[in-house]
Amino acid sequence: MSKFPKGLLLAGAIVGTLTAPALATGDADAGKKVFNKCRACHAVGEGAANKIGPHLNELFGRAAGGLSDYKYSAALTTAGENGVVWDEATLSEFLADPKGFASGTKMGFAGLKKEDDRDNVIAYLATFSSETAAAAGEAGSGEAVAEGEAEAEAETSAPEQAASQETPQGEADGAAVAAPAHAAPSGGPLSLGRPATEAEVAAWDIDIRPDGKGLPVGRGTVAEGEPIFAEQCASCHGDFGEGRGRWPVLAGGFDTLTRQRPEKTVGSYWPYLSTVYDYVRRAMPFGNARSLSDDEVYALTAYVLYLNDIVTDEEFELSNENFTTIEMPNVDGFIPDTREAEAHYQASDPCVTDCKPEPAEVTMRAQVLDVTPDSADGEGEGPAGGNVD
């Protein structure tokens, strides 16, 4: 029995008989920003190649599972065999709920819940499809002359307006403003570069310390963090922080730290909550770093705490005011690094050659020692995941 709705199969059959696809109705420029959520797995544009997912060039008019050089899930291959072809309608339904559209698909992304986001990213993808470009050319041929005249008029006045309209990007959006081009050189050995401006230093100086120093003013609740996590994080980390494929697990693992392969999650291993906020704010979502507001990062951090049962109230609100009251379960699992105080670090002339009276001797091979933790040795010693630390 087919897993796909009869309506979709019928739509796929109809699409195959159309002479030209419908034009995307969204905003392609806005869709380019939405596509940042997809870049970790998909490529599009000149030179695009398959990544974790297939490239998306010439997507419109392509049968589901239609690239010969990419190994699709059986679900999408079957969809294509049953007549599903990618167009605005099928793409919109798939992007809204990938697993609902094709149960068994390898695509872990939870979907784009906002219709505008779906319309916009579809419009963006349409710009990389020759079929939609051709259809757009036919539809717009009647407007070409008028548009050409308008563009010509605009071009004659553009040079005069350009100087007065140019505004440094930093002044427009509050980002760091570059120093003027005539700034004095650094005075270093090679006289390269220039001193960073205060604004540039401030833009990079965003680290958060365990005592809360560096935290921005803001707040966010567990309930607010859940939809953000579903849209921005679940495609890699799973709906409940369990991790998909080889992506890191974020929750659980509390009884695994003494195993040969511990599961080092935020809840089981990380000693300070500041690390969570700092990392999410600095590097996430994957492929679209620094796109979250400070309040959204607070909400996501609160939700990760909730996934680990460190907080249990869905209405819990995390803010810069109560941040340092949260104590992580493994805060006492680390010791200070005092190696610099050890005697061999104090030598003014450390030994680097012929430090042993006799030549070094290999006493055992790793293969014989069997140091690779690939089996369960003893009760409760099973593998706990393959996290890359």
Q: What is the pLDDT of residues 87-122, one digit of tens each?
A: 999 999 999 888 888 888 877 676 787 888 899 989
Task: Give CA–CA dist 34/29, Å, rounded.
Answer: 9
Spell out, as residue ranges, where the chain has pLDDT lower than 70. 1-24, 108, 110, 132-188, 347, 366-389
Amino acid at 100: G
| Residue 199: Cβ within 10 Å count | 14
pLDDT of residue 5: 46
Task: Give CA–CA dist 130/13, Å, rounded.
Answer: 21
Closest of 292, 299, 294, 293 to residue 318, by C-alpha: 299
Q: Which segments of the chain belong to CATH 1.10.760.10?
A: 6-133, 203-348+381-389
Q: What is the DSSP letter of 245?
A: T
pLDDT of residue 167: 40
Fold of 203-348+381-389: Cytochrome Bc1 Complex; Chain D, domain 2 (1.10.760)
Sign of the CA dihedral with 205 first, then 227, 302, and 334 last: negative
pLDDT of residue 33: 84
pLDDT of residue 386: 41
pLDDT of residue 157: 46
pLDDT of residue 138: 52
pLDDT of residue 15: 40
- CATH code, residues 6-133: 1.10.760.10
Task: Give CA–CA dist 387/248, Å, rounded.
Answer: 6
